[in-house]
Amino acid sequence: MPVPQHAPFQVKTLAQAEALLDFSYGARLLEKFIEPSTSSQAAHALVEPANRVAYHVRKLMEAGLLRVAERQGKRVLYQVAAQTFHVPRALVRLDEPLTLIKPVMRDITTAYAHAILEWQTRNAADTLGGDGSHLIVQLDGHPQDDQVEADPQTPEGPYAPAMRIRTLQITPEQYRRAQAALDRILTDLATEEDTSCAKKCTFIIMGFGGDLHDS
């Protein structure tokens, strides 16, 4: 059952706008229902817990952004209400950009901080001579954004949290190539066969025009 291409969805309420613009479970989740799909299929595609995705599917249904496309016994297939959504500027506080991105950035920074603390506790006693009661910052004389991925056999240990920040002077075409290359890396990793020592890891890739500290 194809979604009409000529019928944009007119967002009318703040609840609809917030559900659509949720960075984690808004448009990102809706995209999994361009074709009729079940909640569990969407969870599998996103590599997310089924119960969490089901909860957000219900929220999108309540907001009118998803609809039931078909029922197959106990299976319910959902589909987006439209592929294009028009959000009135009056519903989005564009003068306060953090209004939209703050929830997902809070989740990211919280998860990253927990990963740092967990890694420090696990590795300090064995590799850095600590007892796990202190954060240990070790300088190596190399710029942070020039460091390569940690080798599992080095003192840094496997899955060491890492952040790379670099501002470059590049052309639009170079920017597009960089984004495509990063997407390919993650796609290739996702399609490789699982191994017994594999662990879930999260990569956050951000890119934007301008400097981090525009003056």
Q: For the segment 119-131, what is each residue's pLDDT rounded down to a tens digit?
A: 877 776 555 555 5
- Mean confidence (pLDDT) of the chain: 81
Q: Is residue 77 pLDDT above 60, yes or no?
A: yes
Confidence at residue 154, expressed as pLDDT on a 0 to 100 scale: 47
Q: Mean pLDDT, to the nearest integer, of 50-57?
A: 95
Q: In terms of pLDDT, which residue wins out, 203 or 23?
A: 203
Q: Is residue 148 pLDDT above 60, yes or no?
A: no
Q: Mean pLDDT, to the nearest integer, of 149-158?
A: 51
Q: Is residue 21 pLDDT above 90, yes or no?
A: no
Locate 85 and state its tokens. 């959504």
Q: In terms of pLDDT, which residue wins out, 96 or 23?
A: 23
pTM: 0.60
Residues of the chain with CATH 1.10.10.10: 9-91
Vertex 26: Cα angle to 210 and 164 (nearest 5):
35
Q: Is residue 51 pLDDT above 90, yes or no?
A: yes
Vertex 61: Cα angle to 56 and 64 (nearest 5):
130
Confidence at residue 32, expressed as pLDDT on a 0 to 100 scale: 94
* CATH fold of the domain at 9-91: Arc Repressor Mutant, subunit A (1.10.10)
Confidence at residue 152, expressed as pLDDT on a 0 to 100 scale: 43
Please report which confidence band the pLDDT of residue 10 belongs to, taking 50, 70 and 90 as the band edges.
very high
Instruction: Write the CA distances from 119 to 135, 163, 215, integer angstroms.
Output: 10, 14, 36
